[in-house]
Structure 1
């Protein structure tokens, strides 16, 4: 197992031991159920009512808009549900038939599987808009909210808006579907806004400036020479500006060939001669053993402002799009699962609706396991 992963797991367990010792043994009165901090085994929830007035005002002023918005969300929700189910089913079948695992679901862990700070920014935006949208639509439907808050499940942060479940269950089907669909609808809208801003406001002022090394293959030839964060700007005297430039050059190389790399490291240019290995997936092709990413620079200067803004928008787009769609997967307790379950119960007899719901749960869990296995295997190493 990866040594860094062992350290991380130990730190996480230590954190929860301290949290449970400090907060997990306090009495839980009625007020604590709707406000305050509650800590259970690997779950911490903080509830408050302080934001409820803001949500009430937002819903009351534009009630018709929010209902129309959420109705569109229902349509997008069922289309997204079918799309996600199909893609995970297709990936799982390909994996089982070819025995070549490909991850249909990626783990989202800031600092491990995604960049730490940009990942955290993206996740915060995902949680805030998702839960705020649930809450505003619930109030537009005149459903009571008990509290809002933050949750930490092991290492996964989250936010929530807590409606009155009894009122929600008694509400008309259309109202319930609007509330369920509102969260993913918000994520998809934010994702589209972020990619429009990125493509039309920031990309025109960005230029490719080489290929950044995001990671190194521990068995590749580059590991003894290069470092994470190095930027390849030339190979054998040929300028490298884009990933396409890099891939086009590497596709012409052969195992055993020695190439000279021009690297930008902490603002200083360095040169390395590296003998290539054989590509593990392309016989007869040279292999450097790096994980490349496009390096960018600002055409107008202010790199310390323009680049972080561009990367933040990119991760806001990617995480809102991916998590928003994944939340529509027809598996309870995801919103997609609740939408499908309520729809089946509304229009089918219970003896028919229940078996169909259970079938989706069984198939859904199977598809998730098959699609998650490659990502888990890669994380454990």
Structure 2
């Protein structure tokens, strides 16, 4: 079954099940507790859970609560300033140096997100939503603000998560510090989680500790894929394990990078590798690196080699470590981007509520808020338009 067929079958099954569950829960909990827009949104609300959470009280050090609130606010301000400034500077780059402009596009499954990447997107988006909404709930409870409802949500294509609705009357009675700390809590937590997972991408020891229950480090470098049109395409295969080049042992990616750093173009290489359990040697001649003209390039994408532990070797392989790494990349990407974009001061986002709370006591605050909203929406729209006009469409 192809990835496209698997996706559409999963999509149909998921939303068919959601529709049946909606009918059952509507009778069990009442129609007001269940919402369904087929293939787009399925939501189940519970006032009982919200009431239970609202009754929770924190009797610890109030200084710690204020410190946490201050962290949420500072992270929120940083995210808002970073988001607006980045979009504005990117727009200027689009007009002055189009080649340096970063593409700005919404994440749309099948268009800007490839079907191969969709499972990673769904898992990372689920983590992002749960962390985001949990942070809002925690911030509200610590501030003594009641929750109106809490529950489960399923978003298209198949992204599960949770949500909380804050009681607006209860929130209105709180000071500005508590208000803006609650509004910024979700984004702050997403950014913190993204930075935390970044450590796993930059530190081999941390990454190994994550996968150590399932995999153990092996000697060599795993060939993930070859680059079309380059020397390795004809002599290496996905799944090969490179163990030496020109009789120099290659035990890790750092060994490979160190070796290739000193290899010029048009160099003959003898690559020793393991393929299907057999050791063999293949030869190739390097070409100029696409980015560094005086450096040799084989045209191979690699990853450190990890072996499955015996107890789980029947259902995972060496590529599972690559998948975990890719998932962490997606978790970092989605969390940091959601954390920043959600703090933009435009309607329906937390950043708008954050800015509204700050300006509500300011003279002509409503007019100023509308100006800020219009400016932000304008630079977002212009970024997207310029991305399309410059042909910078991408698929992750």
TM-score by structure 2 length? 0.70
The question of 1:150 aligning with 2:173 is answered no
Q: CA deviation at 1:49?
A: 4.5
CA gap of 1:37–1:268, structure 2 versus 1, over 3 A, is farther
Q: Choose the corresponding residue for 1:353, options 369, 380, 383.
A: 369
The answer to whether structure 1 residue 289 and structure 2 residue 299 are counterparts is yes
Equivalent pairs counted in the alignment come to 374
Match of 1:343 in 2: 358
- Determine helix, strand or coil for the equivalent of 1:44: strand
Range 352-361 or range 252-261, more displaced = 252-261
State the Cα distance separating 1:131 from its structure 2 match: 1.0
Distance 1:40 1:192 in 2: 35
Shift of 1:241: 3.5
Query: Which deviates further from its counterpart, 257-266 or 194-203?
Result: 194-203
- Correspondent of 1:174 among 169, 174, 177: 177
The whole-number CA distance in structure 2 between the counterparts of 1:217 and 1:200 is: 25
Superposition TM-score, scaled by structure 1 size: 0.72
1:93 and 1:189 map into 2 onto residues whose CA distance is 29
Q: Does 1:84 align with 2:83?
A: yes
**Unaligned segments of structure 2, at least 5 residues:** 210-215
CA RMSD of aligned residues (A): 4.9
Q: Secondary structure at the match of 1:71?
A: helix
- Report if the CA contact (8 A) 2:345-2:373 is conserved: no
| Distance change (3 Å), C-alpha of 1:120 and 1:145 | same
* Bigger mean CA deviation after superposition, 56-65 or 20-29: 20-29
Identify if the C-alpha distance between structure 1 residues 238 and 91 changes in structure 2 by more than 3 Å, giving closer, same or farther.
Answer: farther
Change beyond 3 A, Cα 1:232–1:260 = same
Distance 1:351 1:177, change over 3 A: same
Matched, 1:223 2:233: yes
Tell me: CA distance 1:352–1:104, structure 2 relative to 1, closer, same or farther (3 Å).
closer
Work out the CA distance in 2 between the residues paired with 1:120 and 1:371. 25
Please name the residue that 1:138 is paired with.
140
Q: Deviations over 1:195-231 (max 9, x none)?
A: 6799697469797844434444344343344344444
Contact 2:91–2:379 at 8 Å: present in 1 too? no
Contiguous gaps of at least 5 residues in structure 1: none
Question: Partner residue of 1:272?
Answer: 282
